Structure 1
Amino acid sequence: MTLLGRLLKNRRAGGTHTAWNLPNLQGPELLTLTSRQFSDGGSMPLEHCAKHVGGDDRSPHLAWSSPPSGTAQLLLVVEDIDVPTSRPAVHCLALIDPAAGQLEPGALAAKQPGPGVRVLRSTIGRGYHGPAPIKGHGPHRYVFQLFALSAPVDSGPGTTPVDRARPRALLPAITAAVLDRGRLTGVFER
């Protein structure tokens, strides 16, 4: 696998196609998103990485500043922007009750999410999927993006229920106004 990683070293999705850059998810950038496990731009501990790379596949603690008045729902999108594909890989997609204030470690689990958390489909499956970059590919950035929405995501029209929608179809279809947003980036390398 190290050879494959070296061969693909210069192929990276980049940040252009992240949820953060979608026209419908633009808004003020006043939410402060933090974690007890890593600082912005810092290394993610192994426990928050995928099991097949030696981790526990357990989502990290996340906390945020108070969302603005009128926030109906929070949308959390976690993307690997260094995956060697044309678009970032969505590692987690979740809807969160704005009253939650923070998520304890493991709160994004597919089978037993934390209080006020509704996990949706990601590129990989449902729930949180920790970092597992190709060995030798170099550092990968995992961008945790939090959006304060003026209306619940599942309140608008659509043909596919929100729980079954693929991220690349769901994210551009969100019509609720973004009242505020914030992000936090963790890094992991094999």
Structure 2
Amino acid sequence: LTKTAAAFAFWAPKMFQDYKDHLEPLFEKTPGLKINFANSIFPTATFNLGPRTVSLDHLDSANVAAGFCPIFCAGSFDSKKGGHLILYDLKKIIEFPPGATILVPSSTMRHGNTPIQPGEERMSFTQCCAGGLIRWVKYGYRSGITLQETAAGRAFKAKVDGNPDIRWKEAIAKFSKLSEVQADRQAVFS
């Protein structure tokens, strides 16, 4: 695994396994799809080459809700004065120096970063998984729109989607608690 994918597996083993359970069959069944990077679990990557990349307060709502987005920061800037990561919902501002990587649940936690000083450069590289890829596999390699076209398709989609009052609890359960992460690692990787 890449260091980023390994960090994801280490801190979120149940979530990592869920990605693996859905993405490996997708790539096996669809030979035209190519993995961006060997040994990475993340199927999507974005290069923000700046030279003064600033991300405003946002959610990446198309990403997997129970998922992480690794953000890698690069450039030449004073991280004491700018380029901080802002986690708006947590009301936290984190120093985010060049060379650092953080995992953020980008579809459910508002995030952005502060500007940098004049003459400095900041870039970022992010990876993620679109929720639509997971749904595509769960829906039997069909879109939700296609399933809506027939009564049988609608029934299948409803069954796969499950009860929304339960689905959000299942999503939250994929996030390992610090007190349980060691047991989660053993359960997933043993």
From the two aligned structures, give the one with the greater strand fraction: 1
TM-score, length-normalised on structure 1?
A: 0.30
TM-score, length-normalised on structure 2?
A: 0.30
Report 1 or 2 for greater relative contact order, CA contacts < 8 Å, sequence distance ≥ 6: 1
From the two aligned structures, give the one with the greater helix fraction: 2
